[in-house]
């Protein structure tokens, strides 16, 4: 790919694989790291319950979204910075890393001070000012593929973050828009090995926004692992039927436990190590 020549994102040789160390949890080749949690944090109770349970069943980070980009302005938009005390409480109660979406340059600094990883969502993949601001942070950035972005556009978006000074970028395949409507998006499974050919950056998969359906989430997770993904970001809710957003694609805690049991058995077959936090006795 010509446009990737002389870029920071480009893989230099077969063995060039960046492993991102986030407070002694790793993202990259040889590891399988799971981030899990609700589509959005709703209140203290559900957030703490989810965090404790996912930590028990295996995860490195909590999805702790406070801001939600929604198609309709009348849908739940997230609890915003009021949720920072919830993130802080989870930090003190668990060993999980915290991960949260940044939607705008207005809250990037205040939010990133309370989390270990920031996420730039699909809708902002080509928000170049936000990418450049994320490039000034000293923490990993999970960059999700735009809904109709080619791999080249996706990688050049990552290049913006890297070129601005932050080389800790984790790419996330989250499905692309296609003619199919049964699934919310079409999980581009070959994007995983293709990205691994083109770039040295870690690649994770979002089985929730790609499928849009709880019943398909386990298959998407296993397919991602088999295709070479370095991890997952999964929506998990203690009571999906009453979730304020994306309940239909969120698995519950019992389903999460079963899924992690299956995934942990499969990970060694792909020469990877399943990572978990150290749960306090």
Q: Does 39 bind Mn ion (CB under 5 A)?
A: yes
Nearest approach, Cβ of residue 233 and ligand PEP (Å): 7
Tell the smallest beta-carbon distance from residue 77 to ligand PEP (Å). Answer: 12
Interior angle at CA 20, CA 14 and CA 26, nearest 5: 105
Closest-by-Cβ residue to Mn ion is 39
Q: Which residues bind ligand PEP (CB under 6 A)?
A: 39, 65, 69, 101, 121-123, 144, 174, 206, 209
* Options 35-43, 53-61, 155-163, 225-233: segment touching Mn ion (CB under 5 A): 35-43
Residue 53 touches which member of ligand PEP, Mn ion, none, C-beta under 5-8 Å by kind: none
Nearer to Mn ion, 68 or 272 (CB): 68
Residue 196, contacted partner among ligand PEP, Mn ion, none, CB below 5-8 A by kind? none
Residue 246 in the binding site for Mn ion (CB under 5 A): yes
Range in contact with Mn ion (rule: CB under 5 A) among 88-96, 148-156, 193-201, 246-254? 246-254
Minimum Å gap between C-beta 198 and ligand PEP is 20
Closest CB to Mn ion among 20 and 221? 221
Q: Which is nearer to ligand PEP, 177 or 258 (CB)?
A: 177
Q: How far is the CB of 70 from ligand PEP (least distance, A)?
A: 8
Least distance to Mn ion, CB of residue 208, Å: 6
């Amino acid at each position: 790919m010509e446009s990737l020549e002389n870029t920071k994102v480009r893989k230099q040789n077969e063995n060039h694989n960046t492993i991102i160390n986030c407070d002694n949890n790793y993202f990259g080749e040889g590891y399988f790291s799971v981030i899990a949690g609700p589509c959005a944090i709703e209140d203290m109770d559900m957030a703490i319950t989810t965090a404790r349970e996912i930590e028990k069943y295996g995860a490195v980070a909590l999805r702790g979204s406070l801001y939600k980009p929604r198609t309709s302005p009348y849908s739940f938009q997230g609890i915003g910075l009021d949720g920072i005390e919830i993130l802080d409480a989870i930090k003190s109660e668990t060993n999980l890393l915290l991960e949260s979406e940044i939607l705008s340059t207005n809250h990037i600094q205040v939010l990133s001070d309370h989390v270990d990883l920031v996420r730039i969502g699909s809708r902002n993949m080509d928000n170049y000012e936000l990418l450049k601001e994320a490039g000034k942070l000293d923490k990993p950035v999970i960059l999700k593929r735009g809904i109709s972005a080619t791999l080249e556009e996706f990688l050049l978006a990552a290049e913006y973050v890297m070129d601005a000074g932050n080389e800790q970028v984790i790419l996330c395949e989250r499905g692309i828009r296609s003619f199919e409507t049964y699934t919310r998006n079409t999980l581009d499974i070959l994007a995983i090995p293709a990205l691994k050919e083109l770039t040295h950056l870690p690649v994770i998969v979002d089985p929730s926004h790609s499928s849009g359906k709880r019943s398909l989430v386990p298959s998407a997770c296993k397919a991602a692992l088999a295709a070479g993904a370095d991890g997952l970001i999964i929506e998990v809710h203690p009571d999906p039927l009453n979730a304020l957003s994306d309940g239909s694609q969120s698995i519950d805690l019992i389903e999460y436990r079963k899924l992690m049991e299956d995934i942990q058995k499969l990970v060694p077959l792909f020469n990877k190590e399943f990572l978990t936090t150290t749960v306090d006795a």
